[in-house]
Structure 1
Amino acid sequence: MELLDYTAPATLDDALEALRATPGARPMGGGHRLILDMKRRARRIPLLVDLGRLDELRGVRRGPDGGLEIGSTTTIADLVADPLVRGSHAGGLLADAAAAMPDAQVRNRATVGGAVVAGADVAAALIALEAGLHLRSGGARSRRVSVERLLAGEGPAGDEVIVAVEIPATTAQGAYERLAEPAALSSLCGVAVGVTFRPGGAVGACRVAVCGGPGPARRVPALEDAAAAAPGNGAEPRLDGVFESDDVASGEYRAHLARVLTRRAVARARDRDPA
């Protein structure tokens, strides 16, 4: 690992100034994935800005619309244990996705903001929940962007920090299903659904996000349409180009898994529906 400079600011403004003043600087929450990238020399970072001292970036709060506001440096373990999360519509889906991190030490270090940037299981769950992000940069500039759009290429910029994840209130139920890659235990394919049900259990509105393989978590409208179709009234959804092939699995195999896992996740969400 190359030598680099390190700072642990006491305020968010100081952290933003450090990022602005040093091109190529990177913020660090839990540091799990970032440290791995650095050890592999996948990133060259002149300055590491540790956000761990910023209490304002931790914790779960009730949002003004009745949804949830989750500080970006809240750990995954603290997230799923929080009473506000456990008592909300998001609880089951986030707990499912967090369980995809098989190592308790990782869950105790990994942060919500880092999980979004990593674009894997928790990010897929947040896309299904229509979650947004509050980002800040120097000069008190701020913006809001959905997790879906951010992972599609809208940042964060080098001088931006994810301040909070915002999950809107909804009556949807959620569930996450995945198949693990045996060697690394990462998700060969994962599927998150956020779904509302009509009386009698038919699917109403539905959001489906997938992860696994090259590329970050992304929403898949074809799987949403298939989930909402009446049983037996639709062909298998075409997922051309949704998954790329790599040295672990082909894109076609991952697409097959996504179809199967979507059905399982919808069934699991239906079991959770209080209606």
Structure 2
Amino acid sequence: MRNANQDVKTIYRKDYVAPGYWVDTVEMGFDLDPQRTHVATRLTMRRNQESAEKDLVLFGEDIQLHQLRMNGVDLKKSAYRRDKEKLVIPNAPDTIVLEIETSIAADKNTTMSGLYVSNGNFFTQCEAEGFRKITYFPDRPDVMASYTVMLRADKQAYPVLLSNGNLIEQGDLGDGRHYAKWEDPFKKPSYLFALVAGKLVCQEEKYKLKSGRKVLLQVWVEEGNLDKTQHAMDSLKNSIRWDEERFGLELDLDRFMIVATSDFNMG
């Protein structure tokens, strides 16, 4: 198994350069298949007026690029530069809607970084630079965006489809597959992106915040581990209560999920 930390380069604060573009929204669609997961991404971007960078620089590793469209126009290979680590569009416009189609062989991803399959389930590990193994993106912690994610998969093999934020829609597709649509309206860096799909069970509770608003708390685990979730649930409720009492901060999402399995390589 390859180590995700192999050949890691040290990045120094003194070398910091602001990104050339900000990303406002990220829309992603996943057709989950272990051998070939198709990913469609739509980014709304704008130039960082405080940056001298004129090119749009996106990071991407170990993924297949199938289509690249900017502001509704398909880009020919001559319109950009691409190597094993980056995709660069020279002299890009100030405002951009970028559509990217990629695919991933998640079952062959042994780095356990990006999107991978373990024991029949899909997982992601995007911290610190794993998101670039899913799609081309300015994968750095100072680029923050809101995310909307559509997951589609075989219902029998992957009955649970999870991602960041709130579940806003789910249903059957009529061909043995189903979908779930997640929305995280609060901007976050790409290393916090999460996707889990597979056979999991959960303990859940409705929790009443100080304002009176009720939220859903869930702890997802593999079958056989449900009796081990109470401590995690109690700790989660204590943390939410402490944030309210100590800082006056209320949980902003409608649900909060913890996923605890033996297949995460971090945390």
Q: Normalized against structure 1, the TM-score is what?
A: 0.27
Normalising by the residue count of structure 2, what TM-score does the alignment of the two structures yield?
Answer: 0.28
Structure (1/2) with the larger helix percentage: 1
Structure with greater strand percent:
2
